[in-house]
Structure 1
């Protein structure tokens, strides 16, 4: 059966197998695949509440009770349909989740009746590793320094690193990321950074990249690509020091 012209298995097969070191990517791929294959109902909604059996009150007439019975029957039909859909989704979610967890990890997780409960137990096993991963990413962002290679790629790399914090509820605001990027730039960009701080406007990531690339081109034009120039001078000086004087062995 296809969903919106696509084969659901196409999405399911894209899920990575959980191996202990890729929890965040695995969880993201899992949720995307289940959503695109229209099987995530049990993950995004609670199980329908079971209906209480209808009881006839002593002071109600036959006509009144008959009306309540008809209304209750309609609600029962809707509940049965909703519960059947939810149960089907829950069963499929559990099958998919377990099917993409390596055996040693799956064997350590207790059985659950719902997919959400099972995912919580999986998550609990990787909380500490997630914290360690988050700490590593934050340290990388704080200590990152730009030297060369293109400032566009540098900013995209930092943005990509920051995006990995979002699944752990540690996503950074754009303004904070911009200041981290500025902190990573060399002294040549000092005036450029100060000008940004003094102006009232705030940039998004696209504006940041555009303005930094523009500033990089300006610096290259005004200083003759100073970074490369310094490297070339160092290389020449090194070669000159090691060069043998003419006429000497």
Structure 2
């Protein structure tokens, strides 16, 4: 604004300083709203240089008060299936695909031992025979 005013002055068009201060105050972003209110509540008016120095001070104060915020958004691959999305708190502890794969290869799901798979488990075969299920289901 002061650069524009000095260019206008070079063309013999002077802008009164109080108008220039007013235009600068109007151009400040919304973070300076408290600063604007405090200026409007005062009886004395500032010069352009005073306004610039107070704006610099206010900007430093705003930088110190600023809190860093990070937003986390999650999406679900089950769109339209009626399943609820996981809350953000649980998103950090969600098992990745590599952890799930390791669990799948860890051993028998039926008895929990790691030296064989469910299809080779003697306890599972005995349980199926007791239930009257003779054939193993085919894997997809």
The normalised TM-score by structure 1 is 0.28
Greater helix share, structure number: 1
The normalised TM-score by structure 2 is 0.47
Structure number with higher relative contact order (C-alpha < 8 Å, ≥ 6 residues apart):
1
